[in-house]
Amino acid sequence: MGLKENILELLSSKSGEFVSGEYIAGLYNVSRNSIWKAVNALRKKGYIINAIQNKGYILEYNDVFEAQEINKYMQASLALEYIPEVSSTNDIIMELGKNNEKEGKVVVSNYQSAGRGRKGRIFYSPENTGIYFSILLRPNIHFSKALFITTAAAVSVCLAFEELYNINPNIKWVNDIYYNNKKISGILTEAHIDMESMVIDYAALGIGVNVFTPQDNFPSELLNIAGAAFSSNLQSNIIRSKLTAKILDIFWDNYKKLEQVLYFQDYIDRSLVTGKNVFIEKQGKKEKAFVKDITKDFKLHVIYENGYEEILDSGEVSLLL
């Protein structure tokens, strides 16, 4: 860790207590001027650190969205990097995958200028209200099992909300997370595949969550679709940090046993479409169908109005209200 991180960790561990500049200088073998510069850098990030002559430094407030804050709540051994603004966290992870970065690298951001979902759709990613991160994976599985990654992530988002905040979202096949009939999270898995073996060489799992309603609400074209878990009045970086850490912990635990699909029943229990009438959109056409069940490999078993049954591994599904 650098000096800034060391000082932050020290002040956090001495919560409510002053720590003298002399003590910090001796502990890290640096000058008092270096400490002053490091503290000012932390203040610019949003940490409230007060200094009183003859007493030292004290951390007054710690509600900051940063990798170090997320790590406080996380158990999984993942390498987090926080980048305040990106075009897309998935873009960064895919580039790192191509350059042989180790599995388990996570890029977290506060804002995406070009966040995206399935089929190139835009994922609205305003600053300070959501969590946007991508994980580098090297699963060594056949591409036909790629849905295991996405569905494990969907379950992880739901369980994190349930465990931390007693909020109970549902999953609209395959990977959209809904709460109060609005989409609050999207998941996008992109992969590089070895064309000879058809095994996934590396993948970027991107997760975006609308934690708080933006101050100026969602764009008009998203108002009927997008929602958030909490109102803007509850906005807290601690909530964002805890939620990011919990999602990563749950996902990583499932990922280590991915092909066992131990989370299957959790997915089924939270399915928004099983046993429901839906519209199935394929090749620009919509058809009414009944969702009979979801198979063990997360394909959708549907029955159309004419009685024809089909197992779908892709397609757009919307509830028939």
Residues 69-101 have pLDDT tens digits of: 899 899 999 999 999 999 999 999 999 999 999
Mean pLDDT of the region 128-140: 96
> In which band, very low, low, confident or very high, does the pLDDT at 241 lie, cut at 50, 70 and 90?
very high
Tell me the two tokens of residue 16.
């409510």
Mean pLDDT of the region 149-156: 98
Calculate what percentage of the chain has a pLDDT beyond 70: 99
Cα distances from 288 to residues 41, 279, 280, 318, in angstroms, run 58, 5, 6, 10
Q: Is the pLDDT of residue 63 over 90?
A: no
Determine the pLDDT at residue 130: 96
> In which band, very low, low, confident or very high, does the pLDDT at 284 lie, cut at 50, 70 and 90?
confident
Residue 42, CA atoms < 13 Å, CB-side half-sphere: 30
Q: Is the pLDDT of residue 134 over 70?
A: yes
Determine the pLDDT at residue 314: 82
Distance in angstroms (rounded) separating the CA atoms of residues 215 and 235: 10
> In which band, very low, low, confident or very high, does the pLDDT at 226 lie, cut at 50, 70 and 90?
very high
Distance in angstroms (rounded) separating the CA atoms of residues 128 and 156: 22
> In which band, very low, low, confident or very high, does the pLDDT at 43 lie, cut at 50, 70 and 90?
confident
Determine the pLDDT at residue 289: 95
> In which band, very low, low, confident or very high, does the pLDDT at 244 lie, cut at 50, 70 and 90?
very high
Mean pLDDT of the region 203-230: 94
Of the candidates 17, 66, 21, 18, the one whose C-alpha atom is nearest the C-alpha of residue 42 is 66
CB under 8 Å to 139, separation ≥6 — which residues? Answer: 149, 200, 203, 255, 258
Query: Tokens 């042989």 — which residue?
Result: 100
Determine the pLDDT at residue 283: 78
Q: DSSP of 229-248, one letter per residue?
A: SB-GGG--HHHHHHHHHHHH
pLDDT tens-digit series, residues 94-109: 999 999 999 999 999 9
Tell me the two tokens of residue 168.
């109970």
Calculate what percentage of the chain has a pLDDT beyond 90: 73
- Put simply, whether the predicted model's pTM sits higher than 0.75 gets the answer yes
Q: Is the pLDDT of residue 321 over 70?
A: no
User: Prior bond to 302 cis, omega within 30?
Assistant: no
Q: Is the pLDDT of residue 136 over 90?
A: yes
DSSP state of 271: B
139-145 long-range contacts, CB within 8 A, separation 24+: 139/200, 139/203, 139/255, 139/258, 140/199, 140/200, 141/199, 141/200, 141/258, 141/259, 142/198, 142/199, 142/200, 143/191, 143/193, 143/198, 143/199, 143/200, 144/198, 144/297, 145/258, 145/259, 145/297
Determine the pLDDT at residue 319: 83
Average pLDDT, the chain: 92
Query: Exposed (0-12), middle (13-18) or buried (19+): which is 224, by Cβ within 10 Å?
Result: exposed
**Amino acid identity at 202:** Y
| Domains delineated in the chain | 3-61 (1.10.10.10), 67-269 (3.30.930.10), 277-319 (2.30.30.100)
Determine the pLDDT at residue 37: 92
Mean pLDDT of the region 139-162: 96
Cα distances from 16 to residues 19, 59, 64, in angstroms, run 10, 7, 17
Mean pLDDT of the region 47-53: 86
For the chain, the distance separating the N- and C-terminal CA atoms, rounded to the nearest angstrom, is 54
Determine the pLDDT at residue 193: 94
DSSP state of 117: -
Mean pLDDT of the region 151-159: 98
Distance in angstroms (rounded) separating the CA atoms of residues 182 and 176: 10
